[in-house]
Amino acid sequence: MALETTAETPAPLRQISQLLDGYVARLGAVWVEAEIASLTRRQGICFLTLRDLEAKISIEAKCHVSVLDASPAPITEGSRVVVHAKPAFYAPRGSLSLDLREIRPQGEGELLAQLERRKQLLAAEGLFDPRLKKRLPVLPRGIGLITGRNSAAERDVLQNARLRWPDVHFVVRHALMQGNDSARDVMAALTELSADVSVDLIVIARGGGSIEDLLPFSDEGLIRAVHACAIPVVSAIGHEPDTPILDLVADLRASTPTDAAKRIVPDVREELAGIAMMRERASLSMRSMLERELRGIADLRSRPVLARPATLVEAEESRLHDVRDRARRSLGHRLDRASDEIGHHLARVRGLSPLATLERGYGVAQLPDGTVITSVAQVATDTELTIRVVDGTIHARALSTETSLTTEETDHD
């Protein structure tokens, strides 16, 4: 029912606010298509301004950060979106806003969301694993180039590569670089070049464009074909900000076709300069080594042992003579001491020898059997005796025997 008011019976402002709040609350949640004019993210909550796609109409909105983060594609200012929102009227300020419950990107945003999901699925299979990347040859024998016919990308790659290395050899295969049949054409050219034994590197090049223009280079079939290719593949699609999925699976990603030309072949001038530098360094190193060895030889030759080699022999000869003289002196001293000891022993032996006693006038009487006579009792009358003196033997016969006692024995008896 309409509220009846007059100038005499006006309705209070609070009643009008309450009625507006009730009207808005009965509207319920709605799906709204709009463009994000502004976006402010704070801790736990986001504040947005939604603008109509055609009319100059905008409305404030807010949502929890989790709603924004749940979007399959990044949401930024200028994004076209469809939101599920509940209208809300804030009575204290009399403002109308939308409480957002879900945000879905549309147009380019939706396309980016689809590509993101495809990228995540392929990454989960390991197609983008850096360990699977193949190393590019330093100087390719032949380079396969897949690009559009008479395109700027083809001219950029060929001209810049030949400026760097004039003898570079290209095998060019033209294919559609845009449209529904583009991915199939590129895969056919890739198969043909990978079977060519003269090609050991393949470049896929295209100029910049919109997301829709570059969509064929995120085709799943093309991505799997590049992953299975046995030859290294370089992706040179679009400009620096463009990132089709082909960039992730390729063995090398070049930011532009010109950048690809600079990275697939070396610069002949830089290589010649490098060779000259290495030659100079090798020459300096060799001269330094020779000078060092010559100084070492000079030092060796200046040593006394090499300047006069006989010095060492003479020193050893002198030492040998000293040792020999000491040995001789030591041996002479020992022989002298031994000779003295023998003389002493000889004198003692001579002093104890019976011959020495015989020389003093004594003799040794013996029986015929050689027994030395030490007592009269051993000799009978007419016994033949042998008396040994210092210079010979006397043969005698005993006429008689008598006992002669010493003074000590006589006194004892």
Name the token pair of 287.
């001269």
> CA-CA distance, 238 to 226, in Å (whole number)?
18
240 alpha-carbon distance from chain centroid: 33
> CA-CA distance, 90 to 317, in Å (whole number)?
120
247 alpha-carbon distance from chain centroid: 29
Output the pLDDT for position 407. Answer: 38
The closest alpha carbon to 67, from 26, 100, 89, belongs to 100
> CA-CA distance, 299 to 368, in Å (whole number)?
96
Residue 343 has pLDDT above 80, yes or no: yes
The closest alpha carbon to 246, from 108, 158, 119, belongs to 119
Output the pLDDT for position 107. Answer: 61
Distances from the Cα of 407 to the Cα of 376, 377, 402, 410, 413, angstroms: 17, 19, 16, 5, 10
Output the pLDDT for position 323. Answer: 92
Q: What kind and span of H or E run contains 31?
A: strand 30-42
Average pLDDT over residues 118-147: 92
Q: Between residues 366 and 404, which one has the greater pLDDT?
A: 366
Exposure string of 236-265, with b = 16+ CB inside 10 Å and e = fewer, is bbbeeebbbbbbbbbbbbbbbbbbbbbbbb
Output the pLDDT for position 325. Answer: 92
> Bridge-partner residues for 203, per DSSP?
145, 234
> CA-CA distance, 20 to 317, in Å (whole number)?
128
SS3 content of the chain, % helix, strand, coil (to 5): 45, 20, 35
Q: What kind and span of H or E run contains 233?
A: strand 233-237
Amino acid making up residue 322: D
- For residue range 229-275, list pLDDT tens digits in order: 999 999 999 877 767 899 999 999 998 999 999 999 999 999 999 99
Q: Between residues 324 and 110, which one has the greater pLDDT?
A: 324
DSSP string, 53-87: SSSS-EEEEEEEHHHHHTSSS---TT-EEEEEEEE
Instruction: Kindly report the number of other CB atoms within 10 A of residue 224's CB atom.
Output: 15
- For residue range 170-219, list pLDDT tens digits in order: 999 999 998 889 999 999 999 999 999 999 999 999 988 777 788 889 89
Say if CB 85 and CB 32 are below 8 A apart.
yes
Average pLDDT over residues 16-20: 84
For the entire predicted model, the pTM comes to 0.51
> CA-CA distance, 266 to 183, in Å (whole number)?
30
Q: CA torsion 18→22→24→30, rounded to 10°?
A: 150
Instruction: Kindly report the number of other CB atoms within 10 A of residue 269's CB atom.
Output: 11
- Binned at pLDDT 50, 70 and 90, residue 151 comes out as very high
Name the token pair of 188.
């056919």
Output the pLDDT for position 53. Answer: 86
- For residue range 281-299, list pLDDT tens digits in order: 999 999 999 999 999 888 8
Place of tokens 């939101």: 83
Q: What is the largest CA-CA distance in the chain?
A: 210
Name the token pair of 261.
């030309």
| 147 phi/psi in degrees, rounded to 5 | -160, 175
